[in-house]
Copies of this chain bind each other. A is one copy, B any other.
Amino acid sequence: MNNIRKLTYEILEIGNKQHMLGRVIDIFLIALISLNVLFVILETLPSISADNHLWFHRFEVFSVLVFTLEYIARVWSAVEDDERNHHQPFWGRIRYMLTPMALIDLIVILPFYLSMVITGIDLRFMRVLRLLRVFKLTRYSSSMSLLLQVLHRESRSISAALFVLFMLIIVASSLIYFAEHKAQPDVFSSIPAAMWWSIVTMTTVGYGDVIPITAMGKIMASIISIMSLGIVALPAGLLASGFSEALRQRRRTYEKMVNLAIQDGV
């Protein structure tokens, strides 16, 4: 029994490249998650959804069953992890269940079972929860986990840049509100409404649904959009340089490992 549990753990969590079965299961799960995301998206197309309602439902039941089995297998074999205590079958598993990845695994299957017990849950809300399955891919994507690492490491400087951006948004919204409120009382009805304009302008999206028309408003908008060029580049620049730095570091680590392996071989 313990051998099977060890094997389950190795196949599911370690991503052991020697295990042929581990790779097959990984590919199967990635394909299933991708199909799930694709199907939630396609289901919103009336032309496709109408005729294939039954098939969508069957696929959903199948997916939930697989994800439930996967979840049970992961929780059951979690105690094989040396970092979680071996000899604490109950608390070790509870601790595993509280990790972010395990919580996502639970959240994406729970609604299905809840909808059987409780009736009248909003279908659209159910779909949002089903789409969260896309985050199950994080486990298999090294780039996603790298980005999360970078966000964690650079969190101080990025939040500093975001704070500056936030203050500029407040000041910009207030200024444009006081400049345009009289000329366009419907569009710039309040500072929160003016914030929509500020964000659309400062991110340079510029839909054109809300535009200053007074001379004063246009002068302010000009100054704000030129200033925001620099402010908005701050978080983007910090994230990009952090990401490329982390990629370079990982490559170096990988090369070092290869070199060590070669030396050991000698």
Contacts and interface: CB of A to CB of B under 8 A. Distances in A.
Nearest to A160: B143
Nearest to A239: B230
Contacts of A157: 143, 244, 247
A204 B207 contact: no
Contact of A171 (B134, B178, B190): B134
A240 B229 contact: no
Contacts of A207: 206-208, 211
A192 interface: yes
A163 B144 contact: yes
Given A165-B226, A178-B127, A209-B208, A192 B41 contact: yes
A250 to B, nearest CB: 9
A160 B251 CA distance: 14
Q: How large is the interface on A (under 10, 10 to 19, 20 to 34, 35 or more residues)?
A: 35 or more
Contacts of A141: 160, 163
Contacts of A196: 218, 222
Nearest to A206: B205
A236 interface: yes
Interface in A201-255: 201, 203-209, 211, 218, 222, 225-226, 228-241, 243-244, 247
A142 interface: yes
Contact of A234 (B124, B159, B240): B240
A161 B142 CA distance: 11
Given A144-B167, A190-B44, A226-B165, A209 B211 contact: yes
A234 B161 CA distance: 17
